[in-house]
Amino acid sequence: MIENFTNLFIGFGIALTPYHIALMFAGVAFGLVVGVLPGLGAPNGVSLLLPLTFAMDPVAAIILLTSIYWGALIGGSITSILFNIPGEPSSVATTFDGYPMARQGKATEALTLAFLSAGFAALVGVLLVTTLAKSVTQFALLFSPIEYFAVFMLAFASFVAFGGGSPVKTVVSIGLGLSFATVGMDTISGSVRLTYDVPDLIKGISFLVVVIGFYGIGELLETMQEPLAAKPVATRLDWSAMVRTAREWPRYWVTLIRGTLVGCWMGIAPGGPTAASFMSYGIAKRFTPGNKPFGKGVPEGVIAPETADHSAGTSAMLPMLALGLPSSATAAVLLGGLMIWGLTPGPMLFKERPDFVWGLIASMYLSNVAAVILALASVPLFARVMSVPFTIIGPLIGVVCIISAWTVSGSSFDLLLLFIFGILGFFMKTLNYPIAPMILAMVLGDRSEDAFRQSMLLSQGSLTIFFERPLSATISILTLIFLAMPIVSLLRHRFTKKAID
């Protein structure tokens, strides 16, 4: 561990040159812009700039590209909060309470909370990477498809079990999400499923198109129904709201730490930032005392997903560098970059190119701080957007949605899907079907199906395999407890009611 800190200081020596610092700020600023535009997103932003780095030194190149990633992760929350359109898949959960806060005129507060929490969690994530580099790598190697499946189920259980609403409607919503995730080429059998001979469906249904449709277009349609919505939301533009929020922020330390831990766990496990943010939101909802109205604009509902998202994003760099295992689409692009620069991701990278690894880790401290500073500085600007009347901002959001859906893969078929999902989203909202479980099912459905079928191949069809290995058994039992909790509390509720009668 001491050795790690010595290495870190060498890393700071490498990262702290004016050239590298300039790259960090440039990367973060570009990332913020990329993150704000839904659909463009971090993976596209990073691959856009990848050719630029061919001629660069690998350390400078990775600093630039990861800075874009950090910027985009933070920027993704901005549109989630202001317009209910998640800029990044991992900021979907931020919309649940961030958007209601903004509608209530608390956009400044929501953005400030989101950025501060994101920065805090990212720093904890990097600290974890610094101190536990070696043991964490060994831990990640323990994960076979059996453990992956257990982790996905845990994320599922912690979100779904603690959600409110009608259980039947939740199941319908999950079923829809799972079937959308099934469309396209199947990894395990190599055949095409549910495409109805439409060539555009072979690639599957993009999760981002669904999200932009349901949240962006669906929300627009819903807002148009209410005459009141045409009125701008009064937003205070003063810096004092920011300062006050920042001062109140440490009060939520329980949510902060819990969310960060969930994120670190999912970053290393590796379940990825999107699953982490959903899981963290679900847990916060269940365990925050005082029956807070989650989903109607409570600060904890912004802090929980933001912390998990960012600690997962940063700590996931470890399995990427040390195992060559990307836990997100952006990490996969970065991995490609590593190989083009002539580096081999994998266990030996730490030994062969310590300058690269520790330079990168040191830069992660700095660029995350830079990202938070730049993002906070932009709060008054973005908060001001909320005071623009809906008649002007509404059509703009529509245009942004269409451009975003187009950018995902440049396919006009996706635009058709966008509107279908927008209309579906509108009806689901009107009929009170929860949308979040469907989104989670889409995120995890594909991967958990693969993991399940791989496990079944490994065990030759025996379901007990999930309880035979210590790690998966522990996670599976935790999943069962989570799932049982709502039932237990329901029974207890009925029982006490009867006792009173």
Partner 1 sequence: MTRVHSALFGAMALAGLSFSSQAMAADWAPSKPVEFVVTAGAGGGTDIFTRTIQSIIQKNNLINQPIVVTLKGGGSGAEGFVYGKATPGDGHRLIFGTSNEWLLPLVAKVAWKREDFVPVAAMAFDEFILWTRPDAPWKTAKDYVAAAKAGNVKMGGSQSKDLDETLVKIFERAAGIKLIYIPFKSGGEAAVQLAGGHIDSNTNNPAENVGQWKAGQGIPLCVFSSQRLAAGPKVTDTMGWSDIPLCKDQGIPVDEYKMPRAVYLPGGVSPEMTKFWVDVLQKAFNTPEWKEYIEKTSQSTNFLSGKAFADYAAKDEERTRKVFDEAGWLLK
Q: Does 461 bind partner 1 (CB under 8 A)?
A: no
What is the rounded distance in angstroms from the CA atom of residue 262 to the CA atom of residue 280? 6
What SS3 class is residue 493?
Answer: helix
Candidates 230, 237, 243, 348; binder of partner 1 (CB under 8 A) is 348
Question: Where do we find the tokens 């990894």?
Answer: 187
Shortest reach from residue 186's CB to partner 1, in Å:
8
Nearest residue to 234 (alpha-carbon basis) of 106, 81, 121, 120? 106
Binding mask 29-48 for partner 1 (x = CB under 8 A): --------------x---x-
Candidates 174, 333, 372, 379; binder of partner 1 (CB under 8 A) is 333
Which residue, 12 or 350, has its beta carbon nearer to partner 1?
350
What SS3 class is residue 109?
Answer: helix
What is the rounded distance in angstroms from the CA atom of residue 351 to the CA atom of residue 116? 34
Binding mask 411-440 for partner 1 (x = CB under 8 A): x-----------------------------
Q: Does 179 bind partner 1 (CB under 8 A)?
A: no
Burial class of 41 by CB neighbour count within 10 A (0 to 12, 13 to 18, 19+) = buried
Nearest residue to 214 (alpha-carbon basis) of 441, 444, 392, 446? 441
Rg (CA), the chain: 22
Candidates 105, 165, 232, 324; binder of partner 1 (CB under 8 A) is 324
What SS3 class is residue 17?
Answer: coil
Cα angle: 458, vertex 462, 466; to 5 degrees: 80
Which residue, 18 or 342, has its beta carbon nearer to partner 1?
342
Q: Does 239 bind partner 1 (CB under 8 A)?
A: no
Q: Does 141 bind partner 1 (CB under 8 A)?
A: yes
Alpha-carbon distance values, 40 to 393, 408, 409, 416 (Å): 20, 6, 9, 18
Candidates 11, 75, 263, 326; binder of partner 1 (CB under 8 A) is 326
Burial class of 203 by CB neighbour count within 10 A (0 to 12, 13 to 18, 19+) = middle
Q: Does 192 bind partner 1 (CB under 8 A)?
A: yes
Which residue, 50 or 369, has its beta carbon nearer to partner 1?
50
Q: Does 57 bind partner 1 (CB under 8 A)?
A: no
* Interface with partner 1: number of residues (CB under 8 A): 55
Which residue, 12 or 139, has its beta carbon nearer to partner 1?
139
The DSSP H or E segment spanning 193 is strand 192-193
Q: Does 289 bind partner 1 (CB under 8 A)?
A: no
- Which range binds partner 1 by CB under 8 A, 51-59, 66-74, 364-372, 479-487? 51-59
Q: What phi and psi, each to the nearest 5 degrees, are found at residue 37?
A: -85, 110
Which residue, 332 or 423, has its beta carbon nearer to partner 1?
332
Q: Does 237 bind partner 1 (CB under 8 A)?
A: no
What is the rounded distance in angstroms from the CA atom of residue 316 to the CA atom of residue 447? 17
Strand partners, 184: 193
Contact in structure between 432 and 165 (CB atoms under 8 Å): yes
Shortest reach from residue 113's CB to partner 1, in Å:
33
Residues that bind partner 1 (CB under 8 A): 43, 47, 50-51, 54-55, 141-145, 184-192, 195, 197, 199-200, 202-204, 323-326, 329, 332-337, 339-340, 342, 344-349, 409-411, 450, 454, 457-458, 460
